[in-house]
A = this chain, B = another copy of it.
Amino acid sequence: MGNRERTGVWIAGALGDIATTVRVGAAALGRGLAPHTGLVSALPPMDRLDLLPFDALVFGGCDIHPGNPVEAAEAVCRRSRTYSPDLLDAVREDLMASAADYSVDPDMAWDVSRPQPGLPPLEMLVERVRDRLRRFAANHGLGRVVVVNLISVETLPAEIDGHRDLEAFEALLAADRKDQVTPSMVYAYAALREGCPHVNFTPCAGASIPALQGLAEQVGVPHCGNDGKTGETLLKTALAPMFAARHLRVMSWEGFNLLGNEDGRSLADPGRRAGKLRNKGRVLEEVLGYAPHGDVAIHYVPSLGDWKTAWDLVHFAGFLDVPMTLQLTWQGSDSILAAPLVLDLVRFADFAARRGESGLMPHLASFFKDPMGTREHALWSQFQALLRYTERHLRAAG
């Protein structure tokens, strides 16, 4: 590495399965022990951008559950049938070295819909996060820290005026309104106030209220989200354009999602599920130009663990209104699907920040179920935007 600059990756929800897979994967990539499979940033022509190498990433973060990255990685390895024990052994030392940069904070878990007495006031919680970010950067002499939100789904507060502009939002903080301010908002606000690029990979739409979008512009850092597009919605945004381009009329698109991980447990709560479903529902209408019948069911099936399974039935009308069907079954490890996208987003956010770009990063729309700054949902169009962005920078770098 020599005197090469390093960038921090500070994760909220740092001991969850996705964050743990990000950590193990980054270490394996840094040591040349893993292929680039799954990494969009490693595809041509993106691989010719001056993106951070994986061994220049320094990891830290906090979680509401106790633990450390080594224990978390062992637990995932044992439970999930994803990466091998051998791979874990090969990076165990790297994980141990960063244990000191992981903190536990059970206070960051309130739900806006239920009163939880005894928590510190919001402004103190904001300050706590900012302090952690400052110390993390200082300890490692980091030029930049990208903050990534990977916490569990949270209940979305009603849309209220206090979310519209920064002044009103800061009033909510000052008034300690935990019924209107979510943990995600606190992380995002703290990150942006510290000048850290912010990536919201969760369905917690609170992180992207207008007040925080405005703050990102004002502070001049990248701010992107929401909700990593890893499975059923990825398929929808690849396939719905096919139906549109063939003038096939989608009558119903029913989805059935089975999840066995922490995410699935959270989504068993109707309040939390609402936000997730909102993101999933909007996609078809935007791509097709009309809203077919379409319910999405989410069941928590513990035996599946990290291996989510989704079945979709597309019932569509063809020529002379004859009904036909397509069925899809997607079986994938949630963490393995998500982790490389998180690394991609960190690299792209760092790249943008280095070039002084700020705001909602619509060229990263293909990574999200509900991308900020664009209403384009068709996967292919989203991906073209990334290619165009890349080519523009490659030309500029000449």
Contacts and interface: CB of A to CB of B under 8 A. Distances in A.
A37 B85 CA distance: 25
Contacts of A325: 309, 329-332
Contacts of A304: 252, 315
Considering residues A39, A87, A246, which has the most beta carbons from chain B within 10 angstroms of its beta carbon?
Answer: A246
B326 A246 contact: no
Report the contact-size class of chain A (Cβ under 8 Å from the partner).
Answer: 35 or more
Interface string A265-303: 000000000000000000000000000010101010111
Interface string A228-257: 000000110011011011111101101010
A381 B242 CA distance: 11
A304 to B, nearest CB: 6
A332 to B, nearest CB: 4
Contact of A324 (B324, B333, B381): B333
Interface stretch (A28-36, A118-126, A209-217): A28-36
Given A315-B301, A319-B339, A322-B333, A379 B245 contact: yes
Contacts of A345: none
Nearest to A328: B328
Nearest to A381: B380
Nearest to A294: B301
A297 to B, nearest CB: 5
Given A36-B247, A37-B247, A330 B320 contact: no
A213 B174 CA distance: 67
Number of copies: 4
A313 B313 contact: no
Contacts of A218: none
A312 B373 CA distance: 36
B247 A242 contact: no
A334 to B, nearest CB: 10
Given A238-B242, A379-B245, A336 B320 contact: yes
14 contacts: A21-B319, A28-B320, A37-B248, A37-B249, A38-B247, A245-B366, A252-B303, A252-B304, A254-B301, A256-B311, A295-B301, A320-B336, A378-B380, A380-B381
Contacts of A379: 242, 245
A299 B340 CA distance: 32
Contacts of A238: 238-239, 241-242
A327 interface: yes
A98 B277 CA distance: 50
Contacts of A323: 303
A54 interface: no
Contact of A297 (B87, B299, B309): B299
A4 to B, nearest CB: 25
A298 to B, nearest CB: 10
A37 B311 contact: no
A352 interface: no
A323 B332 CA distance: 8
